[in-house]
Amino acid sequence: MGVAITGMGIISAIGHSVEENKTSLLASKSGIGNLRHILTNHSQAIKVGEVLLSNAELTRQLHLPEIHNYTRTGLLGLVAATAALENSNISDCSTYRTGFISSTTVGGMDMTEQYIKQFATDVTTQKYIATHHAGDSTQKIADTLGINGLVTTISTACSSAANAIMLGERLIKAGKLDRVVVGGTDSLSKFTINGFKTLMIQSDALCAPFDAHRKGLNLGEAAAYLVLESDTVVQKEKKDVLAYLSGYGNANDAFHQTASSDNGEGAFLAMQKALEIANLNPDQIDYINAHGTATPNNDLSESIALKRVFGDQMPDFSSTKSFTGHTLAAAGAIEAVFSILALQEQYLFPNLNFNTPMPETGLKPITSGIKKEIRHVLSNSFGFGGNCSTLIFSKA
């Protein structure tokens, strides 16, 4: 059955809590719109899934002192991680061997890109010199949660959070931890906006995953964390289980630094491994929360991989990136929360903005919300560097 998930927390463009995210998903309400918090030449040419709260508002909400050196990545992460622990009714992290596994792509880039040219001369900006590295936000969040032991950050581009969740389960299974908070956080930055711009895979319209005329992705920012607990802890503390993480797979496409292979080999292998670990047949998957970034390359490659795994018996699938944008390192955790919500609500969230199936595969995602019996959900996360990961969540 896998390891129990007993808590979750999230902040994204469609809400600042699990409840708000659920409401938006059930109402088919996307959070993608115009950029507000970042000054860039490209603001008219892109649509983004931005968290509405400013850094000052996040600071107040978190009761942090006015002067601190949290990056936005850290602030978003702290909101979601604190909420996950609360959701799991954990007030003291020292009672069990508790770990924290986060993930991020750009770490403290949001501050670095603003202040790098002032570091040498402006003393007030120097507090951000040490916050650039990926582990900084992780350390700060772990300290606030009171987690002192196994604390780490995974950075495998857009599959990062899926790998963080996977590692959490493996460490519990290996007996190194009793309980672990897993997930990821990434804030929007000029750096990533310009990076994706150079790759010409950013759409100026609302993204349309799996559509024949898809023009590219919308970037997003978000953070989400799950609490995983061993069976012993669940029994001893009589915990409510939200869902189980029943399968996981990690493979590399080994094809190109940024592009996915024509036959979706890495994605295919990751899904196969996850099904194997979960001891499930493809026909037992009731819903797929696809990676579905809405880039021409990803959606075709993923579709081909899906067809290789599921053949003609394609389960209902959708990409919720049409709600949140592509939240990079955090995406795997955001979509884990959505997968668990699907299991709890017995409801499939739609793929927004889809009109025409792509001619190569003819696959049609679900385009409106459906009430349905769901026992197993498969969630994909793929990244630059060929890093492909799949998670399977099962009903509690």
Partner 1 sequence: MKKVYLNTAVNISAQDTFDQEGFLNETKELSGKTITANYPNYKHYITPANLRRMAEAVKMGVTAATQALKNMAITQPDAIITGTGMGCIDDTEKFLNAIISNSEQFLTPTSFIQSTHNTVGAQIALNLKCKAYNNTYSQASVSFEWALMDAQVLLQQGEAENVLVGGYEELGKEIVTYRRMMEDADSLGIQVPFGEGATFFIVSSEKTENSIELMDIEVWSKISTTSIQDNIMRFLEKNTLQLSEIDALIVGRNGDVFDHYYNLTADLFENITQLHYKHLSGEFYTASSFGLWTAYEILSRQEIPKALIFKGETKSNKHTILLYNQFKGRDHSFILLKR
Roughly what angle, to the nearest 10 degrees, separates helices 72-87 and 135-145?
40
Identified catalytic residue from 158, 207, 376, 388: 158
3-state secondary structure of 1: coil
Q: How far is CA 375 from the centre of its chain?
A: 21
**Closest distance to partner 1 from the beta carbon of 396 (Å):** 25
Candidate segments 76-84, 171-179, 278-286, 365-373, binder of partner 1 by CB under 8 A: 171-179
Mark 237-276 with x for binding to partner 1 (rule: CB under 8 A) and - for no binding: -------------xxxxxxxxx------xx--x-------
If one asks whether residue 191 binds partner 1 (CB under 8 A), the answer comes out as yes
Closer of 40 and 55 to partner 1 (Cβ) = 40
Judge whether 207 counts as a catalytic residue.
Answer: no
Closer of 109 and 378 to partner 1 (Cβ) = 109
Candidate segments 7-15, 117-125, 224-232, 309-317, binder of partner 1 by CB under 8 A: 117-125
Closer of 26 and 45 to partner 1 (Cβ) = 45
Residues 237, 314: Cα–Cα separation, whole Å: 39
Find the angle CA(187)-CA(191)-CA(193) to the nearest 5 degrees. Answer: 80
Residue with tokens 């770490």: 107
Instruction: Decide: residue 195, CB within 10 A, 0-12 exposed, 13-18 middle, 19+ buried.
Output: middle
**Closest distance to partner 1 from the beta carbon of 266 (Å):** 6
Task: Report which of 287, 270, 289 is spatially closest to residue 331, judged by C-alpha positions.
Answer: 289
CB-CB contact of 37 with 188 (8 Å): yes
Selected binder of partner 1 within 17, 28, 68, 170 (CB under 8 A): 170
* Strand 287-289, strand 316-318: pairing: parallel
CB-CB contact of 375 with 395 (8 Å): yes
Q: State the SS3 of 175-232.
A: CCCCEEEEEEEECCCHHHHHHHHHCCCECCCCCCCCECCCCCECEECEEEEEEEECHH
**Closest distance to partner 1 from the beta carbon of 171 (Å):** 7
Residue numbers 37-56 binding partner 1 by CB under 8 A: 40-42
Selected binder of partner 1 within 63, 67, 92, 120 (CB under 8 A): 120
Catalytic residues: 158, 291, 326
Site residues for partner 1 per CB under 8 A: 40-42, 100, 105, 107, 109, 112-113, 116-117, 119-120, 126, 129-130, 132-136, 138-139, 142-143, 147-157, 163, 167, 170-171, 173-174, 176, 190-191, 194-195, 197-199, 250-258, 265-266, 269, 383-387
